[in-house]
Amino acid sequence: MSEVIYNGFESMQDRVLVQPAEAEQKTAGGLIIPETVRDRPSCGVVVGNGPLALVLKVGDKVLYGQHAGFPVNIKGKEYLLIRENDVYARVHE
């Protein structure tokens, strides 16, 4: 099994816990983007996964939809709980 408990949090079934990338705070031209209009990040890193045999593993960088997942706050940090089939791609760098 690939079950992982992250900071006391255990994902269930086919869900992965994703730490979203930081939202862009400036435009390419250097203008500061107000927090109220910043786009929600659509990429992040898998930090935990459920007990099923999943394709995604801890440490994978992934792309997902803007409105995918369920926001979760763990020890003051924001994460997303996303079904594996809602992830569009794994990024290899």
pLDDT, tens only, 41-62:
688 999 988 777 788 888 999 9
pLDDT bin (cut points 50, 70, 90) of residue 36 is low
pTM across the whole model: 0.75
Percent of the chain with pLDDT over 90: 25
CA angle 85, 58, 62 (to 5 degrees): 45
Is 72 in contact with 17 (CB distance < 8 Å)?
Answer: yes
Is 21 in contact with 43 (CB distance < 8 Å)?
Answer: yes
Give domain 5-91's CATH number out of 1.10.287.3510, 2.30.33.40, 1.20.1560.10, 3.30.300.90.
Answer: 2.30.33.40
Interatomic CA distance for residues 60 and 90, integer angstroms: 7
